[in-house]
Amino acid sequence: MLLRLACRELLRSWRFGLFFIFNLSLGLTGFVSLQAFNEALETEIQANSKAILSADLAVAARRELSEDETAKMRQALPAGTKEGKIYEFFAMLSSSKGSRLVLVKAVDGSYPFYGELELESGRHITATSDNKDILKEQKAWIYPELKSQLGLDAGDEIQLGQLKLQISDLVKKDATQTFRAASLAPRVFINRELLSQSGLLQYGSTFSLAHLFLLPAGAVESQARDSLYNVLTDPQINVETPATAGEDSGRQLGYLSDYLGLVAIVALFMSALGAAYIYRLFLSTRMKEIAILRTLGLQSGQAVGVYILQASLLGFLATVPTMLFSLLVLPLLSKLLGSFTPFDLQPTITLEAFLICLLMAVFGSFVVSIPFLTKIFDLRAAKLFSEEKFSAGEGQRRYWTFLPCLVLFYFLSVYQAHSWKIGSLFIGSMILVVLALLVIGYCTVKAAGLIKGLNRWFFKFSFLSLSRRAGASLAVFVALGMGALLINILPQLKNSLQAEFQFEGKSKIPSLFMFDIQDEQWPGIDEVLKEKQVTPLARSPLVRARILKVNGQDYERKIESEGFKTREEEREARFRNRGMNLSYRESMSDSEIMIKGRPFSGPFDPDKQARAELSVETRFADRMGFKIGDVLVFDVQGVEVEGEIINLRKVKWTSFQPNFFILVQDGVLNEAPKSWISAIPFLPEQQRVDLQNTLAQKFSNVSIIDVVRTVDDVLKTAEKMSWSLELMAGLALITGYIVLFSIVRSQIKLRRWELNMLKILGASGGEVASFILTEFAFLAFIASFFGAALSVLVSFALNTFIFESEFRLSFVQPLVSVVIITGLSLLISFLASVDIVRESALSILREEK
Binding site for another protein (CB under 8 A): 61-63, 89-92, 94, 100-101, 160-161, 184-185, 199-207, 235-238, 516, 518-521, 544, 546, 548, 556-559, 574, 577-579, 603-607, 635, 637-641, 667-673, 675, 700-701, 703
Closest CA to 545 of 517, 575, 573, 578: 578
The DSSP line for 374-435 is GGGGG--GGGGG-SSPP-TT-S---GGGGHHHHHHHHHHHHHHHT-HHHHHHHHHHHHHHHH
Report, in Å, the least distance between residue 534 CB and another protein.
Answer: 22
The distance of closest approach from Cβ of residue 101 to another protein in the complex, given in angstroms and rounded to an integer, is 3
Closest distance of CB 134 from another protein, Å:
19
Instruction: For the chain, give the longest Cα–Cα distance.
Output: 105
For the CB of residue 162, give the shortest distance to another protein in the complex, in Å: 8
Distance CA 448, CA 161 (A): 89
CB atoms closer than 10 angstroms to residue 728:
25
| Closest approach of another protein to the CB of residue 681, in Å | 24
d(CA 789, CA 403): 27
Q: Which is nearer to another protein, 121 or 233 (CB)?
A: 233
Rounded to the nearest whole angstrom, what is the least distance from the CB of residue 520 to another protein in the complex?
Answer: 6
Instruction: Tell me phi and psi for residue 615, to 5 degrees.
Output: -120, 130
Amino acid letter at 449?
G
Phi–psi pair at 424, nearest 5 degrees: -65, -45
Our CB check for another protein shows the closer of 68 and 130 to be 68
Q: Between 449 and 524, name the residue whose CB sits nearer to another protein.
A: 524
- Between residues 263 and 512, which has the closer beta carbon with respect to another protein? 512
Query: For another protein, which is the closer residue by CB, 544 or 619?
Result: 544
CB of 820 to another protein, least distance (A): 57
CA dihedral over 648, 652, 655, 658, signed as positive or negative? positive
DSSP assignment of 224-244: HHHHHHHH---TT-EEE-HHH
* Closest C-alpha to 651, from 705, 595, 597, 601: 595
Nearer to another protein, 535 or 700 (CB): 700
411 vs 575, beta carbon nearer another protein: 575
Nearest to 257 by CA among 425, 44, 412: 44
> Measured from the CB of residue 595, what is the shortest distance to another protein in angstroms?
28
Q: How far is the CB of 675 from another protein (least distance, A)?
A: 6
Residue whose CB is less far from another protein, 322 or 583: 583
Report the DSSP pairing between strands 553-554 and 612-617. Answer: unpaired
100 versus 720: smaller Cβ distance to another protein? 100
Closest approach of Cβ 703 to another protein, in Å? Answer: 6
Which residue number, 642 or 719, has a Cβ lying nearer to another protein? 642
Cα gap 146→705, rounded to integer Å = 13
H-type helices in 562-681, by residue range? 567-577, 618-624
Min dist CB 556 to another protein, Å, is 4
Angle between helices 403-417 and 420-450 (to 10 degrees): 130
Q: If 0-12 CB within 10 Å is exposed, 13-18 middle and 19+ buried, where does residue 472 land?
A: buried
Q: Compute the least distance from the CB of residue 236 to another protein, in Å.
A: 4
Query: SS3 of 638, please?
Result: coil
Strand pairing of 639-651 and 592-597?
antiparallel
Q: For another protein, which is the closer residue by CB, 428 or 673?
A: 673
Strands (E) located in 721-838:
none
Q: Which residues pair with 169 in a beta bridge?
A: 141
Question: Residue 681, preceding bond cis, omega within 30 degrees?
Answer: no
Nearer to another protein, 172 or 611 (CB): 611
Nearest-5° Cα angle at 95, 706 to 185? 25
Q: Which is nearer to another protein, 578 or 849 (CB)?
A: 578
Residue 609, sorted as left (phi over 0), alpha (psi -120 to 50) or beta, turns out to be beta
| SS3 call for 624 | helix
Least CB distance to another protein at residue 730 (A): 46
Among 142, 114, 107, smallest CA distance to 128 is for: 114
| DSSP classification of residue 508 | G
Q: Which is nearer to another protein, 270 or 702 (CB)?
A: 702
Nearer to another protein, 286 or 674 (CB): 674
Distances in Å between the alpha carbon of 848 and those of 16, 284, 298?
10, 12, 23
- CB 637 to another protein: min, Å: 5
Q: Minimal distance in Å, beta carbon 108 to another protein?
A: 19
